[in-house]
Structure 1
Amino acid sequence: MNKTQLKEFLEEKVIQYNNPKFIESDPIQVPHLFSKKEDIEIAAFLTATISWGNRKMIIKNAHKMMHFLDNAPHDFIINHQEKDLERLQNFVHRTFNHIDFQFFMKSLKNIYQNRKGLEKVLQIKDATTNYQTAIHQFKKIFFEIEHQQRTQKHVSDPLKNSAAKRINMFLRWMVRNNKTGVDFGIWKTHSSANLSCPLDVHSGNVARKLKLLNRKQNDWKALVELDRSLRKFDKKDPVKYDFALFGLGVFEKF
């Protein structure tokens, strides 16, 4: 395929997968349960955090998380007392357990009460056009209160060359426009032009087959390379092609 054909092919796949039917089988269904901005972003952040492994299990456990938070995540986070965290004792998703879940509640309380919320703490504040430094700074803020070392592994750091797949997915959900009803577009202080694809095994393999990516590892350097390729097709909304890469990898075993 030449460049024009590849762009047309990807655009077709975006249309195929970026529509409300996609929500039925994707973890994004969990934040779609809510209408209040803070509930959406907290549900999305927690869901994205446990988004690795079997998708059915991710969705099941994300719903379970919301149940533990009385299906009012923002209210729970702002108003919970120490004793309220005891109900989270039985939660586990792979290596994310109740210790991590309880800390996330405390950290999010700090972020909403003292740091003006998730939208504010993930803003790009330097001259870069991607979220590398913003996510690094976010991690520092997230762990500025007392925590166990074990929990740090659940928030990626791009300055350590992590592709930060789950946070990039969360950012896509929050920032990209909601014209098709899949992503939310509720973070108006952020720009879709700065987003990066959530790079994982599926999207990475498809990107390599389509010659959009040469680097073998799925790390931040690979993400930058993929960004460059996708921005040639659409510099205002490069991450829409995540739907194409993911759909081709997961649904079509491309």
Structure 2
Amino acid sequence: MMNFEELKIFLDEKADRYNRPEFIEHDPIGIPHRFSLRQDIEIAGFLAATISWGNRKAILKSADKMLDIMGNSPYDFVLNHSEKDLKDLQDKSIHRTFNGEDFVYFIRQFHRIYTENESLEDLFAVHDTETNFGHAIERFRSRFLGSEKHRSHKHVSSPYKNSSTKRIIMFLRWMVRKDKRGVDFGIWEKIHPKHLSIPLDVHTGNISRKLGLVSRSQNDWKTVEELDLVIRKFDDQDPAKYDFALFGLGVTKELL
């Protein structure tokens, strides 16, 4: 097992290797990279992140389908769609369990949110006493989903129910992390990257255990917080850069 200093050097080197624009083309982050308007990036990014489970090619294809339906102008569609547009969508197949009804629900919620706010950033504010996005994600959930029960609620995970909320944390990394590599957008100015966590999935979870970064066997919110404690010791200002290292190691199977 590597000691702290060796592990930091190793992960810094891997983060540096995988945090490259070449990474974008085959990753869901490539979907919002087609846009320059902030709100287009947010909506395309949130939708792409929401359906990010399973085969990556299938994810990109499904995201393409959603953008086509929105005329490749997500913000304009969210603000100006007609009821007929939504009615035509209801029975469409989108991505696995995320169906046309879910897509319509998200569009309606976006319409309400963007009528009241200029950016989704306003819904993810982190309070001074908070070290990660756990409470902020819950506040976002309650504002985005509202109180009325709907099947679509399952597509926006909850840290309070001990979910790792991988897809939302990934979306937050895209919006908040700032560097000059051209992968993450860093368009949210009011939220500091030090609050970000690693999106925990099968790959990053397994690699984290192999490297001795976490001891818990489940990929849940408690494990996200366990990993937080370690990666913040490596870099307390930009902990989420290690997502590139862990994800890259997982995909390349370099540690097997």
Q: Structure 1-normalised TM-score?
A: 0.96
Q: 1:168 to 1:207 in 2, by over 3 A?
A: same
Kept after mapping to 1: 8 A contact 2:178/2:184: yes
Amino acid at match of 1:207: S
Amino acid at match of 1:127: T
Amino acid at match of 2:125: Q
Q: 1:94 aligns with which of 88, 96, 101?
A: 96
Kept after mapping to 2: 8 A contact 1:203/1:245: yes
Matched ranges for 1:129-168 at <5 A: 129-144=131-146, 146=148, 149-168=150-169
Q: Which residue of 2 aligns with 1:204?
A: 205
CA distance in 1, matches of 2:30, 2:182: 11
Instruction: Provide runs of 4+ in structure 1 moved above 6 Å.
Output: none
Amino acid at match of 2:157: S
SS in 2 for 1:24: coil
Unaligned 5+ runs, structure 1: none
Kept after mapping to 2: 8 A contact 1:168/1:197: yes
Kept after mapping to 1: 8 A contact 2:125/2:136: yes
Q: What is the deviation of 1:93?
A: 0.7
Identity %, equivalent residues = 55
Matched ranges for 1:1-254 at <5 A: 1-88=2-89, 89-125=91-127, 127-144=129-146, 146=148, 149-252=150-253, 254=255
Kept after mapping to 1: 8 A contact 2:173/2:184: yes
Q: What is the deviation of 1:92?
A: 2.1
Higher relative contact order (CA 8 A, sep 6+): 2
Kept after mapping to 1: 8 A contact 2:66/2:94: no
Unaligned 5+ runs, structure 2: none
Q: What is the deviation of 1:36?
A: 0.5
Amino acid at match of 2:236: K
Kept after mapping to 2: 8 A contact 1:107/1:145: no
Q: What is the deviation of 1:80?
A: 1.1
Q: What is the deviation of 1:46?
A: 0.3
Q: How many residues of Structure 1 are paired with residues of Structure 2 in the alignment?
A: 253
CA distance in 2, matches of 1:109, 1:87: 17
Kept after mapping to 2: 8 A contact 1:68/1:87: no
Kept after mapping to 2: 8 A contact 1:158/1:164: yes
SS in 1 for 2:234: coil
